[in-house]
Amino acid sequence: MNTKAVVASESAPAGGFFCEVPSDPCAIVMFGASGDLARRKLLPALYDLSFHACLGPRFRLLGFARTEMTDNDFTQKAGEFLPTGNQAGAQDSKKSEFLKCLRYFSGNYDDPEAFRRLAQRLEELDSEGQLGGNRLFYLATPPEVYSHVIEQLKKAGLNKPKSEKSWARIIIEKPFGHDLESAKELNKKVLEAFDESQVYRIDHYLGKETVQNMLVFRFGNGIFEPLWNRNYIDSVQITAAEELGVERRAAFYESAGALRDMIQSHVLQLTSLTAMEAPATFDATAVRNEKIKVLQSIRPFTKESVWKDVIRGQYGPGQVGGKPVPGYRQEPGVKPDSATDTFVALKLHVDNWRWSGVPFYLRTGKRLAQPLTEVAIQFKSAPHMVFRGESNETNSLVLNIQPNEGISLSFGAKSPGAQMRIQPVTMDFKYKDAFGGGSRPAYATLINDCIRGDATLFDRADSVEAAWTLVDPILEAWKNASPPPFPNYPAGSDGPRAVEDLAAIDGRHWRPL
Ligand code: BG6
């Protein structure tokens, strides 16, 4: 979100943004460097930063993992995950410049000796690359090893900045804990080693351009904010639907499920950005103070309301994109009688002055009819209909987060002809048309912000715990109930049938996927 440092450049490839000033020199230690996240998201994001001159030559990436590998092996493998062919950024000279900054370190995450050697290695990289002692530790390992790494960093003295002029920061991937208690324990562990100002809990949704634009849309314009409250808004629907299944992540997903994986993090982030008050200033403290107030205003689930207001689901076999796909229980690594949720829909009440009486309907799921992430604001109808025989056309404003990034306002217009007929029409803004194709990868934005010391788009200890506080009673109720009747929706559908009732009972409908 560091707007000053980033300028659009005419020489940039479509959608590209170059940094006016490169970030501080630094060493990035990537724990879990041989993992899926590192390969698919982090390496391309770092390359994007290097390509766009946000990371200067005075940067080193030290991949840390258990696998034995040489610097060369790692560099070669990393090269395979960078853009190729006609993709933006596929430029050989830039790639080799970036790859020259990569190093590898193999060690166990709980081995003090490995971390002692790591400290030495960082000293060497510091002098070799003139990195000024700045260090960013990125926890991209399975969550079970987070506390080991944090403990070893502390023991090796790597938790503190090397000098008064340098910094040491840590990025921690989601999931941050698997319930409230474990999140609290992890926060405790982290804060025993690091100061909160050094800690960057990442949720990649906050790095998406369209998610950041929610702040600009709401607080950078005068036109919508006066309507953004219970006087004009009937309800809010937030959807994060995926077409993909569990892919090769069954080991993780079996113990997570959609509620932990998506609602506790991404979907509640979207809820906070939709419902928050305007921050006094645009900085990490002010923005995060306003976001947490939303979580604290959400009416807690009770044993009774969980069964009324939360629906869970799991996909069975079905068709996606015209092709047959297996059910969740048939996916490799999934138990044949798994009770893991791959879909959740729920109704929330934000009990404050702005939102009293406005229901928020949230849903997320895997293997749904199509990928779609959006925030839809449904406005109240006109108070009195003067056009006889015509139904009241409803107005909605839809923030399309992905895949067709944009904003769409729908209202009723007179259809041409002798009669006074009303037809729904839309006014559309599309990112693609306004700004050209492509946008900065979410991870690139967030890593760049962290290197620049801007925590606005990261989670704080209290907000992670507030999100778990909301989700915990649901997990608890599910744990104590008999196994759900899974599977209860076919892959490629809109989710379980019972979901429609959640809105229908209030006389509303879900938007079609
Ligand atoms: C991750 C979840 O955090 O977000 C995944 O663990 C999910 O299960 C992914 O697929 C969705 O992210 P995006 O950016 O593809 O919407």
Quick one: which of 363, 354, 301, 356 has its CA closest to 509?
A: 363
**Nearest alpha carbon, ligand 1 atom 15:** 242
Tell me the residue type at 182.
S
Q: Which residue has the tokens 């070799």?
A: 128
Determine the distance separating the centroid of ligand 1 and the alpha carbon of 466, expressed in angstroms. Answer: 21
The closest-lying atom of ligand 1 relative to the alpha carbon of residue 252 is 6
Ligand 1 center–CA 149 separation, angstroms = 24
Catalytic annotation, residues? 266
9 CA distance to ligand 1 middle (Å): 30
Q: Judge contact between 118 and 28, C-beta under 8 A.
A: no
Residue where the block lists tokens 């869970």: 312
Best mutation site among 204, 269, 341 for ligand 1, i.e. most ligand atoms within 8 A of its Cβ? 204
The residue whose CA is least distant from atom 13 of ligand 1 is 205
What separation in Å is there between the alpha carbon of 322 and the centre of ligand 1? 23
Query: Probe ligand 1: pick from 266, 267, 343, 439, max atoms within 8 Å of CB?
Result: 266
pLDDT value at residue 388 = 76
Indicate the SS3 state at residue 119. helix
Question: Is 209's C-beta closer than 6 angstroms to any atom of ligand 1?
Answer: no
CA 190 from chain centre, in angstroms, equals 21
- Minimum CA distance residue for ligand 1 atom 5: 261
User: Do you know the residue count of the chain?
Assistant: 513
Of the chain, the end-to-end C-alpha distance in Å amounts to 31
241 alpha carbon – ligand 1 mean position (Å): 10
Residue-level pLDDT at 2: 52
Q: Which atom of ligand 1 is nearest to the CA of 244?
A: 10
Q: Is the CB of 261 under 6 A from ligand 1?
A: yes
Closest ligand 1 atom number to CA of residue 242 = 10
**CB 289 within 8 Å of CB 298:** no
Find out whether the beta carbon of 242 lies less than 6 Å from any atom of ligand 1.
yes
Instruction: Report the nearest-CA residue for atom 8 of ligand 1.
Output: 261
Residue nearest to ligand 1 atom 4, measured at CA: 262
Q: Which atom of ligand 1 is nearest to the CA of 240?
A: 16
* 222 CA to centre of ligand 1 in angstroms: 33
Say whether the peptide bond before residue 403 is cis (omega within 30 degrees of 0): yes
Could you give the 3-state DSSP secondary structure of residue 491? coil
Alpha helices, H only, 142-242: 146-155, 180-193, 209-219
Ligand 1 pocket, 472 CB below 6 A?
no
Note the pLDDT of residue 393: 67
What does R_g of the chain's alpha carbons equal in angstroms? 24
8 Å CB contact between 184 and 465: yes
Q: What's the one-letter identity of residue 160?
A: K
Q: Locate tokens 């006889």: which residue?
A: 388
* Test site for ligand 1: of 41, 174, 262, 265, most ligand atoms within 8 A of the Cβ: 262
Q: Which of 388, 461, 457, 399 is nearest to 429 (CA)?
A: 399
- Residue nearest to ligand 1 atom 9, measured at CA: 262
CA–CA dist 214, 399 (Å, integer): 8
Question: Does the beta carbon of 405 sit less than 6 angstroms from any atom of ligand 1?
Answer: no
Ligand 1 atom closest to residue 402's alpha carbon, by position in its atom list: 16
Q: How far away, in angstroms, is 305 Cα from ligand 1 center?
A: 27
With a threshold of 0.85, does the pTM exceed it?
yes
Question: Which of the listed residues 36, 40, 201, 205 should we mutate to test ligand 1's pocket, taking the one with most ligand atoms within 8 A of CB?
Answer: 205
- pLDDT of 394 reads 78
> What pLDDT, on a 0 to 100 scale, did the predictor assign at position 210?
94
Quote the ligand 1 centre to 94 CA distance (angstroms). Answer: 29
**Which atom of ligand 1 lies nearest, measured to the CA of 174?**
3
Cβ-contact 346, 310 below 8 angstroms: yes
What is the number of other CB atoms lying within 10 angstroms of the CB of residue 458?
21
Task: Write the single-letter amino acid at 22.
Answer: P
Task: Please list the pLDDT of the chain residue by residue as tens digits (513 residues).
Answer: 554 444 443 333 334 467 878 889 999 999 999 998 999 999 999 999 999 999 988 999 999 999 999 999 999 999 999 988 878 788 889 999 999 999 999 999 999 999 999 999 999 999 999 999 999 999 999 999 999 999 999 999 999 999 999 999 999 999 999 999 999 999 999 999 999 999 999 999 999 999 999 999 999 999 999 999 999 999 999 999 999 999 989 999 999 999 999 999 999 999 999 999 999 999 999 999 999 999 999 999 999 999 999 999 999 999 998 999 999 999 999 999 999 999 999 999 999 999 999 999 999 999 999 999 999 999 999 888 888 777 766 799 999 999 999 999 999 999 999 988 899 999 999 999 999 877 789 999 999 999 999 999 999 999 999 999 999 999 999 999 998 999 999 999 999 999 999 999 999 999 999
**What 3-state class would DSSP assign to 500?**
helix
Query: Ligand 1 centroid vs 8 CA: distance in angstroms?
Result: 28
Identify the DSSP state of 87: S
